[in-house]
Structure 1
């Protein structure tokens, strides 16, 4: 398999194990609305944009902007503490940098949340796509198509690492090659993501 033109990585649940913190944030807000979350709510929370979750909690659309702000604040408050990096993430990012493969962080979170997490990853991404950067977020393909476009890469020549069904759907719809990962299993080594890259393929 040829080496990819770029590797595009999800953030929450892929590089940092924040899905539990996100669930806690949404659950706390939902509880205040008198509608406790259950396992049936997972597909509507996990991997979705904050705006989508706000709309899910308030299906009549009232106070959507205020609800989005409440969810963002609740999540940011939890991110201020210890942030668990997924096992293998530092090694994977270092390996991609050593192989000179462009990387993009492609997140469903707003930029304010992404900027809280980025310093803890210790990696200089070539590009960061946050929720505000595309008209539609995951599970639509827009974020991954935009990342590929800005990097000058064909979507079919990009490898995406994702953990959520919404993210996998977005990457698949964009035409990217997808590696489904889990924060509990850790991330694969860089060589597994890009294969053995020949020296003459490097720029």
Structure 2
């Protein structure tokens, strides 16, 4: 199997297509301070790439629903100020569309946040959007990626997942996808990197 094109490309959102992970960290830091604590390096695995409820449970185990709402509102407020696309996002999405390769968005963010971000992607229409509410377990479990491939009717082994966080990489790997890791500073890969062999 030499350089076979994937049957679908599955994108994480925050830190992969849009430069929002810093905004999420800031929002989480604000809520943490309101709870009397400062975020540090030890908090990173509980914040980046995780569902809002997971981060809320880390910050305030006794009050997850209210903390999750506060986190979502703080994140949404920052996104509303404007977001930046990761370099290469437009080019790669356009190349996949031109070749008729289905794309899915597989995000740990709640649907309300995803819907706030989507208009910034130059009208790209994903074949499928999986948000935090769509699976019982979020990343780092494979469930979101397995849900995406099942709904698209393709095998995970025939898909490329594009991720930036250890949590997301773990989820896509556990699902059986080929994973391309994005460094937000360097941007998304060229279409020529899209193979499942």
Match of 2:170 in 1: 169
* Alpha-carbon shift at residue 43 of structure 1 (Å): 1.3
From 43, 61, 70, the equivalent of 1:41 is: 43
Give distance in 2, aligned partners of 1:193 and 1:40.
34
SS in 2 for 1:128: strand
* Alpha-carbon shift at residue 138 of structure 1 (Å): 0.2
Q: Where does 1:19-168 land on structure 2 (aligned, <5 Å)?
A: 19-58=21-60, 61-122=61-122, 123-168=124-169
* Alpha-carbon shift at residue 40 of structure 1 (Å): 1.8
* Alpha-carbon shift at residue 56 of structure 1 (Å): 0.3
Give distance in 2, aligned partners of 1:97 and 1:189.
14
* Alpha-carbon shift at residue 194 of structure 1 (Å): 3.8
Give distance in 2, aligned partners of 1:92 and 1:108.
21
Q: Where does 1:2-17 land on structure 2 (aligned, <5 Å)?
A: 2-17=4-19
* Alpha-carbon shift at residue 191 of structure 1 (Å): 2.1
How many aligned residue pairs are there?
193
Q: Which moved more, 1:22-31 or 1:39-48?
A: 39-48
Give distance in 1, aligned partners of 2:42 and 2:144.
26
Superposition TM-score, scaled by structure 1 size: 0.93
Give distance in 1, aligned partners of 2:194 and 2:183.
15
Give distance in 2, aligned partners of 1:63 and 1:38.
21
Structure 2 portions without partners, runs of 5+: none
